[in-house]
Amino acid sequence: MKPLLLQSTEINESIAARFGNAEEQSIDFLGLPLFDGPGLWRLLILFGINLLVCWVITHFFYYRKSRRRDYYFTYMLFSTAIFFILYQLQNMKIEVGIALGLFGIFSMIRYRTEQLPIREMTYLFVLIAISIINGAGMASSYVSFAAVNILFIAIIWVLEAVGMFNRKSQKIITYEKIDLIRPDRREDLLADLRQRTGLDIVKVQVGSINFLKDTAFIKVTYIPEDSEPNDIDMVTKFKNK
């Protein structure tokens, strides 16, 4: 039996000498492996989870109430881009604080065409946070990784469900009866606005006042009769194109 063992060992050594170790046979190009199976599977799994979570939040929570397709498009691409950037940053020598600060700047973006409403800004920040967590792989296991994403969805679901029963909208009005904007005549102002607009106004705020034209900007908070979204509530004038 001993000669057989020697023959087997000699065969293994000859095969190893001829074909080399499996790790030594990996093809590199410019210092990177041409194919990394485990790394690719990890990327696809993390990206799939991130895409699913961001889609659930955007489609079932944000879009169901706002019906804004432009933000739908922005949120999905924004979360995808941030995920891939953060995932690639894991291979770079960069401090986590710098990376988070970089994407914190993104959360303060104001588009040139219109000012980002607070609800849209909140969802944008949430999707940025989720994409950062998923892209950087900050969880200790896949269970905790999934738990973080599920908790995000659960919290948003609870807050949106509670907000359904107390939904309010706001509108900006150019008001000409500036004698009613005084604090001591607030009830008269509310009564006049309710009578002229037909809205169930619960709060009024006075903004810029123009005494030359006897007008003022007033922001009213009211309870809408239906849940149909109004995209021009806060618009005071349209730009000429």
**Average pLDDT of the residues in 190-212:** 91
pLDDT at 212 over 80: yes
**Average pLDDT of the residues in 176-182:** 91
Q: Is residue 18 part of a domain?
A: no
User: Can you give the pLDDT at residue 23?
Assistant: 46
Question: For residue 188, what pLDDT band results from cuts at 50, 70 and 90?
Answer: very high
- Give the residue with greater pLDDT, 25 vs 145: 145
Q: Is residue 146 part of a domain?
A: yes
Least confident window among 98-107, 116-125, 137-146, 207-216 = 98-107
Residues 133 and 192 occupy one common structural domain:
no
Q: Is residue 208 part of a domain?
A: yes
Q: Is residue 2 part of a domain?
A: no
CA angle 42, 48, 54 (to 5 degrees): 135
Of 147, 164, 181, at which residue does a domain stop?
164
Question: For residue 170, what pLDDT band results from cuts at 50, 70 and 90?
Answer: confident
pLDDT at 58 over 60: yes
Residues 173 and 128 occupy one common structural domain:
no
Question: For residue 54, what pLDDT band results from cuts at 50, 70 and 90?
Answer: very high
Q: How many structural domains are present in the chain?
A: 2
Global pTM? 0.56
User: Can you give the pLDDT at residue 210?
Assistant: 92
Q: What one-letter code names the amino acid at 149?
A: N
Residues 144 and 176 occupy one common structural domain:
no
Q: Is residue 174 part of a domain?
A: yes
Residues 48 and 135 occupy one common structural domain:
yes
pLDDT at 1 over 70: no
Residues 41 and 157 occupy one common structural domain:
yes
Residues 92 and 194 occupy one common structural domain:
no
Residues 219 and 138 occupy one common structural domain:
no
Residues 200 and 158 occupy one common structural domain:
no
Q: Is residue 74 part of a domain?
A: yes
Structural domain boundaries, residue 192: 169-223
Residues 142 and 205 occupy one common structural domain:
no
**Average pLDDT of the residues in 204-215:** 90
Q: Is residue 14 part of a domain?
A: no
CA distance linking residue 124 with residue 148, whole number of Å: 18
CA distance linking residue 39 with residue 55, whole number of Å: 24
**Average pLDDT of the residues in 193-208:** 90
Q: Is residue 240 part of a domain?
A: no
What are the pLDDT digits (tens) for 3-37? Answer: 544 454 444 555 444 544 444 445 666 666 777 77
User: Can you give the pLDDT at residue 217?
Assistant: 92
Residues 200 and 101 occupy one common structural domain:
no
What are the pLDDT digits (tens) for 100-134? Answer: 665 555 555 554 445 667 778 888 888 888 888 88
